[in-house]
């Protein structure tokens, strides 16, 4: 199975394929980086009473639980953490995929594709 995937992904990229893959990456990025944190914030605002009740059982929190401002701060930290974690995973995945592809295909590092075509070189 792995060889079939590599055979497909190691082929040269066509313009059509690049545009379609770019569109897919853009749609997934919008959903993961925009909608998921928004959903976390929305759900936390809907369940504020349950979160305050839950916070009463956390050691070190007084018997009344956290107040709404503290819940909002924690909500924002969680939403931003999910967003930045997803971005880091996406960027790291792309980087390590490219490095493994370079090793598999025997490609060299950065190449200058316009060398010889520009008058200043």
Give the total number of structural domains in the chain. 1
Asked whether residue 51 is assigned to any structural domain, the reply reads yes
* Residue 114 pLDDT: 62
Asked whether residue 92 is assigned to any structural domain, the reply reads yes
Instruction: Check pLDDT > 90 for residue 73.
Output: yes
What phi and psi values does residue 41 have, to the nearest 5 degrees?
-65, -45
Instruction: Check pLDDT > 70 for residue 6.
Output: yes
Asked whether residue 118 is assigned to any structural domain, the reply reads no
Asked whether residue 113 is assigned to any structural domain, the reply reads no
- Whole-prediction pTM value? 0.72
Asked whether residue 13 is assigned to any structural domain, the reply reads yes
| Averaged pLDDT of the chain | 87
- Indicate the angle between helix axes 68-105 and 36-46, nearest 10 degrees: 160
* Residue 31 pLDDT: 94
Residue with tokens 């995973």: 89
pLDDT tens for residues 14-39?
899 889 999 999 999 999 999 999 99
Residue 58: strand, helix, or coil: coil
Q: How confident is the model at residue 120 (pLDDT cuts 50, 70, 90)?
A: low
Asked whether residue 105 is assigned to any structural domain, the reply reads no
Expressed in angstroms, the distance from the first to the final Cα of the chain is 45
Q: Which domain holds residue 89?
A: 2-96
Provide the percentage of residues in the chain whose pLDDT is more than 90.
Answer: 58
Collect all residues with Cβ–Cβ distance below 8 Å to 53 and sequence separation of at least 6.
65
Asked whether residue 109 is assigned to any structural domain, the reply reads no
pLDDT tens for residues 57-69?
999 988 899 999 9
CB 55 within 8 A of CB 63: no
Q: How many CB atoms lie within 10 A of CB 78?
A: 14
pLDDT tens for residues 94-118?
999 888 888 877 777 666 666 656 5
Asked whether residue 27 is assigned to any structural domain, the reply reads yes
* Residue 110 pLDDT: 67
């Amino acid at each position: 199975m792995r060889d079939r995937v590599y055979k497909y992904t190691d082929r040269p990229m066509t313009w059509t394929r690049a545009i379609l893959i770019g569109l897919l990456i853009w749609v997934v990025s919008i959903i993961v980086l925009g909608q998921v944190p928004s959903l976390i914030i929305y759900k936390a605002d809907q369940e504020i009473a349950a979160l305050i009740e839950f916070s009463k059982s956390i050691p070190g929190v007084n018997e009344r639980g956290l107040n709404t401002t503290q819940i909002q701060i924690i909500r924002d930290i969680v939403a931003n953490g999910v967003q930045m974690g997803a971005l880091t995973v996406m960027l790291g995945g792309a980087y390590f995929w490219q490095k493994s592809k370079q090793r598999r295909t025997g490609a060299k590092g950065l190449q200058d594709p316009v060398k010889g075509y520009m008058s200043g070189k």
